[in-house]
Amino acid sequence: MATVGKGLLKANGYEYLCRYAGLDNDGPLVLLLHGFPETSIIWEPLLSKLADLGYRAVAPNQRGYSDGARPEGLEPYSVGVLADDVIGFAEELGCDGKFYLVGHDWGGSVGWAVVNNYPERIQAYVGMSTPYTPAFMYAMMNDEDQKAKSFYIRDFQTPEVPEETMAKDDYAWLRNYWEGFKPEIIDDYLTVFSQKAARTATVNWYRAMFAVKNDFEYKPVELPVTYIWGNQDIALGRLGAEMTAQFMKGYYNFVEVDGGHWLMEFNEEEVSKIIIDHIQKFPME
């Protein structure tokens, strides 16, 4: 198995901690985007597998999660800015053409924005857990199940309180969500979430959802997409997951996994195979 390394990647004026494998390969680039409250460590098994297949695989700790990429305010955490970061990562890695993209949870939302705003740059996309944004927003506003699952998003709009709640009682709120994770993964997450500035920055992703108006509109997706959803997901319900198909106009593969939200922590082998199969189905010309 290929070794996973760690290093710093400069992009869009900031410095991001990245995990990577296969950078000496001559195959296509694959970028992997983590969600909340996680870090790029979730991708280590997949990074290694992709590198063994000849790909160049990179997973950044995204804006707010990296010490060198933590601006103040809400506008720097709007999904359009986060999508711009992804293009910045690719260009800093020497890729000015197409690459493969994978995103989970919030990384999935960022991935959908990249697919929407930069379709000419993406060869194929795998979204995990998070529905296509118009489908998710509809469900959050109209579906009772999704309204209930999204309670924390409403709570996160309050200043200061979420940051304090996460840290209280030795991070009990976070540890509840991380139940069953490997200790080394939790330790890595706490390198970020033990910092108040990091907690504020990561919660600002949620605050920016409503406080910052996007300067783009979501359109139908024509490039190849596989969307993976766990049918026991604690945060993302069935309506948005199934509605996503309405917006897919090209190749689309919806995979319902018998699992929950933490797909890379608990369903890694199954999910990694689905991701690799999708990437290999659409080779670079």
Question: What is the DSSP secondary-structure string of 74-105?
Answer: SGGGSHHHHHHHHHHHHHHTT--S-EEEEEET
Say if residue 37 is preceded by a cis peptide, omega within 30 of 0.
Answer: yes
Is pLDDT at 178 greater than 90 in this prediction?
Answer: yes
- Angle at the Cα of 171 from the Cα atoms of 236 and 266, rounded to 5 degrees: 45
| pLDDT of res. 224 | 98
pLDDT tens digits, 196-253: 999 999 999 999 999 999 999 999 999 999 999 999 999 999 999 999 999 999 999 9
| pLDDT of res. 285 | 81
The answer for residues whose C-beta is within 8 angstroms of residue 115's C-beta and 6 or more apart is 101, 122, 125, 221, 223, 225
pLDDT tens digits, 92-117: 999 999 999 999 999 999 999 999 99
Q: Which residue has the tokens 């979204």?
A: 127
Angstrom distance (rounded) from CA 140 to CA 152: 12
| pLDDT of res. 57 | 98
pLDDT tens digits, 46-90: 999 999 999 999 999 999 999 999 999 999 999 999 999 999 999
In the sheet that holds 56-60, the strands lie side by side as: 5-11, 14-21, 56-60, 29-33, 99-104, 122-128, 225-230, 252-257
Instruction: Give percent of the chain above pLDDT 90.
Output: 99
Angstrom distance (rounded) from CA 275 to CA 28: 15
